Amino acid sequence: MLVVAGTRPEIIKLAPVIRELKKTGKAQVLFVLSGQHYDYEMSMAFVKDLELPRPDAVLKTGSAPDPVQLGVLTKKLAEFLHDHDVDLVVGQGDTNTALAAALASTKSGVPFAHVEAGLRNFDRRMPEELNRMLIADLAEVNFAPTVRSAENLICEGVPPDRIEVVGNTVVDSVLWGAKAARERSDVLERLGLEEGGYVLATVHRVETADDRVKLGAVMGALSELSKEMKVVIPLHPRTRRNLSRFGLLRLLRGGDILLVPPLGYLDFVRLLLGCKLVLTDSGGVQEEALTLGKPCLTLRRSTERPETVEAGGNRVTGLNGGDILASARRAMKKRMVARPNPLGDGRSGERVARAILRRLEGGGWFESPSYLREGAPRRRAIVVDGDLAGRSVGEMERELKCRAMAVFDGSGRFAMPAADLVLRKGDVLITLG
């Protein structure tokens, strides 16, 4: 089995899966870094912080325009698969590495498993959104973090038997990391910070960091906010480069702003634990903040993590400086209401590992459907009346010789079409067959 990571968030979210797979002793796991994050030392620092085994290979890919990088990654991963006996490839998230792994494995006849599948913000201008949609079609199994993610996949035509709802592995990592960070990180002392006495901000996405107007608006808001409370910004290399290129460093003078280089995982988690508020354009940081009970403002126009907003821990501000500043002031005055974490319980890695082993031991991932008489399947929406009410989804599948794709109750709420789900009058069953 091959587990592929290319960026630091992928390392964080695949760590629980790798640990659980190795703990079982039932699978040989190869761990490869693609080199998409071309700072090798920083990637290895995350591997060390998360107590992962040293990678079996590091593919030196480096930075390049998206289409070029995707091509290079796909070629290198295909060559690796050619040279190694691999029965499954596991990737995570929405990066070029994840898409390249899905392409290389599928085209090599090796099934691909996608961790954190089904996230959508419905903004096709974002390269990550396109990656997510393409990977879903290629993956033999999609590990969705929430029921909403599974619903997104089903509505795009992914069959339910290729979806497993397992929670988000980021919860496993950040809960583990919070304990380790309190014991091992001295970052607050090194930076002269006090618990609860600063705001933490991260900005790295291409659509913001590469746009002078958007980046200027965000940095201007952070500068104003720093006159009220210290702002700590771990600077992504792209952001640092563009602040200089666009002449925006001047915006960060005059307030109480602390710029620091990229941090290791435990140091970052310790900063997150100690902050008053988080402002970020990172998807993973939205999840980490919610898990640790820290209010978060998302510096974007949309989020593919709507559960964080609905849980009351996150607010999408847009990229207008005035709106960002006003939202930050409100968030610092308001206490978060403690609610159950919709993202998981810290055991997602265990569920992913168990599902992978179950499918591997069952044998045969690929299945070609047979429609010799009909020619091709058709979708139908069946309204459950009094005669059909009380039957299970499995009974309906056997009787109608079809595959259940989704169930919506009388008020339009989605439900996974589990075989033992009992249908009620007014439900709508979507079938394929």
Active site residues: 204
C-alpha 336/C-alpha 313 separation (Å) is 6
Rounded to whole angstroms, the Cα distance separating 109 from 77 reads 13
The Cα 397–Cα 156 span in angstroms is 20
User: Would you call 130 exposed, middle or buried from its count of C-beta atoms within 10 A (0-12, 13-18, 19+)?
Assistant: middle
368: DSSP letter: -
- Determine contact, residues 399/431, Cβ cutoff 8 Å: no
Q: Which residues contact 212 (CB under 8 A, 6 or more apart)?
A: 242, 246, 248
* CB-CB contact of 172 with 143 (8 Å): no
Q: Mapping DSSP to helix (H, G, I), strand (E, B) and coil, where does residue 199 land?
A: strand
| Listed residue (56, 34, 113, 101) closest to 351, CA to CA | 113
Question: Which tokens is 6 given?
Answer: 């290319």
3-state secondary structure of 34: coil
Query: What are the tokens at 371?
Result: 């429609």
Helix (H, G, I), strand (E, B) or coil at 176: helix
| Tokens at 416, concatenated | 């996974």
List residues bridging with 408 in a β-sheet: 414, 428
- Give the other-Cβ count within 10 Å of 24's Cβ: 13
Q: Looking at residue 422, what DSSP letter applies?
A: B
For residue 232, CA distances in Å to 187, 226, 301 come to 12, 9, 23
CB of 128 closer than 8 Å to CB of 94: yes
Q: Taking the CA atoms of the chain, what radius of gyration do you get in angstroms? A: 23
Which residues, 6+ apart, have CB-to-CB distance to 208 below 8 Å?
214, 215, 218, 281, 299, 300, 319
Q: Give 12's Cβ-side CA count (13 Å radius).
A: 25
Q: Which residues pair with 260 in a beta bridge?
A: 234
